[in-house]
C-alpha cells in the first residue's frame, strides 16, 4: 500500500517534468510540423545554466533559498528562451520552405552541436549542484510510510503553475490566438496580417522556457547532470508528446503524466530494470488502438 | 503617384517552372470601384490574385498598391533577391535586406489589402468570433504582458475588437452563431464569415475569389447587396473573380478579361458583353448568361 502511494507521488512529479518538456515538442510540431530533435538538448543546456546561476548568485552573496531558486528560474528561463530563439533562427528558418527531411537533419545536427559545445565548454564529466531544499513530509500508513520531499512538492506546484500559465496564454491572450491561427493555416494567418515568423519564434521561446522550467526543477532535485542527459529526457518527453497526441497541448501534459506514472509504478511494483520496456510497450499499445495518440486528432487529408 | 488607382499592375509575369501562367498582365483598379476579373478556366485569374495578395512571389513585373496613404510595392515587401546595383547603394541594400529578413505576405495585408479564397480557409477549430478577433490583432494593443496582467488598456482594446467583430457579424447575418466553431457552419455561412474576416483587417481593397461559388440564387442576391454595402458604406474597393456572369454584369463597374495569362479585353459590362474576343474565348458562347463555364 505505502509503496504504491509512494510511487504514485514519484510518478506524478516525474510525469509533470516529462509533460513540461513534451510541451516544447508538441507546440513546435503543431505549428511547423517538424520534430525538434534539439529540444532535449535545450533541456540539458538549462541544467548547466541552473548550476551557473546558482554559482553566480552565491558568489554575489545571495544566501536564502527562495531568492536563489527564484533567481535561478528567471535567469535560466530567459537564457534558455534565447537559445530556443537562436536555434530556430539559425537552423530552421532558412529551411522553412524546403522538404521536411532537411529540417529533420538540421535538427539532429543542432542537437549534436549543442551536446558537443557543452561538452567542450563545460567538460565531459558529471557536474552537480548542492541540495538546497532538504526535508520531507512523512505520512505513516500501516507499518510503512510515504515520504514526499519538499522539493517534490515544489516541482509539482511549479510545473502545474507553468502549465496553467501556458494554457491561459494559448487560450485567452492575443499571442495564443495568433499561435492557434498559425497552427491551423499558416499561409492564411499571414494573409490576415499576422507575422507568422514572429509567432513561430515565440513558440520556440515558449517551448524552451518550459524545458528550462523542467531543467531547473530536475537539477535542483537530482543534483547531478552531464552533457548527455538531454538525449534520454528528450526521447521520453517525445514519447509523452506522441502518447498524448502530438500537436495537442493538453495531450502533452496528459501523456507526460501517464508515462511518468506508469514508469514509476512499474519500477516500484515489478522491476526497475524493465521500466522503460514497460512504458514503451504501453506506447506501442496505445498507438495501435489510437494511432493519433490519446487526444490527437486523426490526420485528415485536406481536399 | 496616382490617387485615382488603388492598384496598378504592370507587366506581371508568373512562371511555374516551364509553365507560363501569366504573360505580361497589365491593368489598373480604380479606387472605390467594384471590378471583376473573369476568364475561362485556367486563364490565370486566381494566379493574378495570388500574386497581388503576396501568396505567390511574382516572377516579374510590378504591383503597386496605393492604400493607407502610402504606396507599397507588393513584390518588394515579399523580399527580392539582391541585385548588383544594391551593392553600390547602401539604402537600397538595407531596404532589401530588411524585407528579406522581415518581409512576407503579412505586410501586404498591413498595407491595406485582404482577400478570401475559392476554397474556404477559415480557422475551423476556432469559434466564429475568434476568427474575427484574430484578424484584428494588428489594430489592438498586442502586449503579451498586458494580456497576462489584464491591464485596463488591454481590456479596452479587447472589448473594442469584440464590438467590431459583432458589427461585422451583424453585416453578414451571423450574430446568432458567434460562439459556434467555424467548421460547424454551413457552406454559405462559412463564405459570409470569410468575407467578414477579410473586412475585419480594415482593408481599403478586398479581393474576393469566387464569392458566389456554390451559393443558391437567393444567397447570391444577398451577396450582391453585401458587396454594394462594402463599396458604398465602407469605401472599400472590391475586386472579385466570379463565374456567375449574371452577377458580374450586374455588380461590376469595370471588368478585366483574362485568357491564357493575358488580358484580352477590359472595360465596362456593356463593352465586354459585345466584345468579339471575349465571346471567342468563351468557346463561341453568344449571350452573357451562357458564358458561365
DSSP A121-178: HH-SS-EE-------EEEEEETTEEEEEEHHHHHHHHHHHHHHHHHHHHHHHSHHHHH
Give the Cα separation of A42 and A25 in Å (integer).
11
Asked whether residue A200 carries a pLDDT value surpassing 90, the answer given is yes
Q: What is the mean pLDDT of chain B?
A: 84
Give the Cα separation of A19 and A81 in Å (integer).
18
CB contact under 8 A, B104 and A197: yes
Quick check: B162 contacting A, CB < 8 Å?
Answer: no
* Model confidence pLDDT, tens digit, residues B160-204: 888 889 999 998 888 899 899 998 898 888 998 999 999 998 889
In a domain, A194, yes or no: yes
Helix B187-200 to helix B217-234 angle, to the nearest 10 degrees? 10
CA-angle at A276, arms to A271 and A281, nearest 5°: 105
* Model confidence pLDDT, tens digit, residues A203-243: 999 999 999 999 999 999 988 999 999 999 999 999 999 99
Q: What is the mean pLDDT of chain A?
A: 90
- Residue A240, CA distances (Å) to A215, A246, A270, B157 in order: 17, 9, 21, 38
In a domain, A87, yes or no: yes
Q: Which of B135, B147, B201 sits opposite A175 (nearest CB)?
A: B147
Q: What are the residues whose beta carbons fall under 8 Å from the beta carbon of A159, sequence distance 6 or more?
A: A13, A16, A17, A19, A20, A213, A214, A217
Pairing of strands B5-16, B205-209: unpaired
Q: Hey, what's the cell of B275?
A: 466584345
In a domain, A295, yes or no: no
Cβ contacts of B125 on chain A, cutoff 8 Å: 180, 184
Nearest to A166 by CA among A206, A223, A133: A206
Domains of chain B: 5-112+203-291 (3.40.50.300), 125-194 (no CATH)
CA of A175 vs chain B CAs: smallest distance (Å): 7
Q: Hey, what's the cell of A56?
A: 553566480
Number of domains making up chain A: 1
In a domain, A83, yes or no: yes
Segments in chain B forming alpha helices (H): 45-52, 74-77, 90-102, 105-110, 128-134, 144-149, 152-171, 187-200, 217-234, 245-251, 269-274, 276-281
- State the CB neighbour count (10 A cutoff) for residue B291: 23
Largest Cα separation within chain B, whole Å, is 66
In a domain, A62, yes or no: yes
Closest residue, chain A, to B50 (C-alpha) = A191
Give the per-residue pLDDT at B144: 58
- pLDDT bin (cut points 50, 70, 90) of residue B284 is low
Give the Cα separation of A141 and B65 in Å (integer).
76
CA of A158 vs chain B CAs: smallest distance (Å): 17
Asked whether residue A155 carries a pLDDT value surpassing 70, the answer given is yes
In a domain, A8, yes or no: yes
* Model confidence pLDDT, tens digit, residues A80-125: 999 999 999 999 999 988 888 999 999 999 999 999 999 999 989 9
In a domain, A57, yes or no: yes
In a domain, A161, yes or no: yes
* Model confidence pLDDT, tens digit, residues A223-233: 899 999 999 99
Mutate to test the interface with A, among B101, B127, B128, B137 (most CBs of A within 10 A): B137
Give the per-residue pLDDT at B140: 56
CB contact under 8 A, A195 and B117: no
Q: Hey, what's the cell of B199?
A: 473586412
CB contact under 8 A, A197 and B140: no
CA-angle at A299, arms to A298 and A303, nearest 5°: 130
CB contact under 8 A, A174 and B197: no
Percent of chain A with pLDDT over 90: 60
Give the per-residue pLDDT at A16: 95
Asked whether residue B286 carries a pLDDT value surpassing 70, the answer given is no
Closest residue, chain A, to B115 (C-alpha) = A191
CATH number where A140 lies: 1.10.3470
Domain that includes residue A151, residue range:
2-289
Give the per-residue pLDDT at B1: 43
Give the Cα separation of B262 and B146 in Å (integer).
51
Asked whether residue A186 carries a pLDDT value surpassing 60, the answer given is yes
Closest residue, chain B, to A194 (C-alpha) = B106
A259-263, B15-19, B42-46, B78-82: segment of lowest average pLDDT: B78-82
Quick check: B149 contacting A, CB < 8 Å?
Answer: no
- Quick one: average pLDDT of B104-125? 86
- Quick one: average pLDDT of B3-28? 87
The pTM assigned to this predicted structure is: 0.86
Amino acid at each position: 500500500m505505502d509503496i504504491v502511494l509512494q510511487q504514485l507521488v514519484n510518478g506524478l512529479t516525474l510525469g509533470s517534468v516529462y509533460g513540461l518538456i513534451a510541451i516544447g515538442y508538441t507546440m513546435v510540431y503543431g505549428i511547423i510540423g517538424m520534430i525538434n530533435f534539439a529540444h532535449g538538448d535545450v533541456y540539458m543546456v538549462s541544467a548547466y545554466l541552473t548550476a551557473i546561476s546558482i554559482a553566480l548568485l552565491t558568489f554575489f552573496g545571495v544566501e536564502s533559498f527562495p531568492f536563489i531558486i527564484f533567481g535561478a528560474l528567471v535567469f535560466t528561463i530567459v537564457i534558455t528562451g534565447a537559445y530556443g530563439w537562436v536555434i530556430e533562427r539559425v537552423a530552421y528558418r532558412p529551411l522553412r520552405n524546403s522538404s521536411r527531411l532537411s529540417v529533420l537533419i538540421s535538427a539532429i545536427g543542432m542537437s549534436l552541436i549543442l551536446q558537443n559545445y557543452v561538452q567542450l565548454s563545460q567538460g565531459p564529466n558529471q557536474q552537480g549542484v548542492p541540495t538546497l531544499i532538504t526535508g520531507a513530509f512523512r505520512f505513516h500508513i500501516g507499518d510503512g510510510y510515504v515520504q514526499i520531499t519538499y522539493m517534490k512538492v515544489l516541482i509539482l506546484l511549479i510545473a502545474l503553475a507553468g502549465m496553467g500559465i501556458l494554457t491561459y496564454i494559448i487560450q485567452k491572450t492575443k499571442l495564443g490566438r495568433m499561435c492557434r491561427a498559425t497552427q491551423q493555416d499558416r499561409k492564411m494567418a499571414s494573409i490576415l496580417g499576422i507575422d507568422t515568423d514572429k509567432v513561430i519564434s515565440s513558440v520556440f521561446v515558449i517551448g524552451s522556457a518550459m524545458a528550462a522550467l523542467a531543467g531547473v526543477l530536475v537539477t535542483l532535485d537530482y543534483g547531478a547532470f552531464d552533457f548527455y542527459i538531454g538525449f534520454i529526457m528528450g526521447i521520453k518527453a517525445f514519447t509523452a508528446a506522441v502518447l498524448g497526441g502530438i500537436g495537442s497541448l493538453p495531450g502533452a501534459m496528459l501523456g507526460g503524466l501517464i508515462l511518468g506514472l506508469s514508469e514509476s509504478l512499474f519500477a516500484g511494483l515489478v522491476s526497475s530494470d524493465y521500466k522503460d520496456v514497460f512504458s514503451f510497450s504501453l506506447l506501442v499499445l496505445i498507438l495501435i488502438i489510437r494511432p493519433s495518440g490519446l487526444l490527437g486528432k486523426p490526420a485528415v487529408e485536406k481536399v | 503617384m496616382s490617387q485615382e488607382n488603388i492598384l496598378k499592375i504592370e507587366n506581371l509575369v508568373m512562371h511555374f517552372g516551364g509553365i507560363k501562367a501569366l504573360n505580361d498582365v497589365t491593368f489598373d483598379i480604380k479606387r472605390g470601384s467594384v471590378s471583376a476579373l473573369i476568364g475561362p478556366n485556367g486563364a490565370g485569374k486566381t494566379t493574378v490574385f495570388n500574386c497581388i495578395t503576396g501568396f505567390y512571389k511574382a516572377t516579374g513585373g510590378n504591383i503597386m498598391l496605393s492604400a493607407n496613404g502610402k504606396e507599397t510595392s507588393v513584390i518588394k515587401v515579399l523580399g527580392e533577391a539582391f541585385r548588383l546595383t544594391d551593392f553600390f547603394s547602401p539604402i537600397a541594400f538595407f531596404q532589401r535586406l530588411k524585407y528579406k529578413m522581415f518581409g512576407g505576405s503579412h505586410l501586404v495585408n498591413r498595407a491595406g489589402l485582404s482577400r478570401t479564397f475559392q476554397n474556404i480557409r477559415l480557422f475551423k477549430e476556432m469559434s466564429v468570433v475568434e476568427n474575427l478577433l484574430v484578424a484584428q490583432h494588428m489594430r489592438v494593443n498586442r502586449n503579451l504582458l498586458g494580456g497576462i496582467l489584464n491591464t485596463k488598456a488591454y481590456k479596452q482594446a479587447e472589448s473594442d475588437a469584440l464590438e467590431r467583430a459583432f458589427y461585422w457579424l451583424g453585416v453578414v447575418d451571423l450574430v446568432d452563431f458567434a460562439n459556434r466553431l467555424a467548421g460547424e457552419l454551413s457552406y454559405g455561412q462559412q463564405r459570409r464569415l470569410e468575407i467578414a474576416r477579410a473586412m475585419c483587417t480594415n482593408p481599403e481593397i478586398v479581393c474576393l475569389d469566387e464569392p458566389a461559388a456554390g451559393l443558391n440564387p437567393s444567397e447570391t442576391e444577398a451577396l450582391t447587396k453585401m458587396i454594394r454595402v462594402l463599396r458604398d458604406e465602407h469605401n472599400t474597393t472590391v475586386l472579385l473573380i466570379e463565374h456567375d456572369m449574371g452577377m458580374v454584369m450586374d455588380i461590376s463597374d469595370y471588368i478585366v478579361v483574362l485568357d491564357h495569362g493575358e488580358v484580352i479585353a477590359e472595360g465596362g459590362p456593356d463593352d465586354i458583353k459585345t466584345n468579339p474576343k471575349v465571346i471567342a474565348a468563351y468557346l463561341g458562347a453568344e449571350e452573357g448568361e451562357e458564358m458561365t463555364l
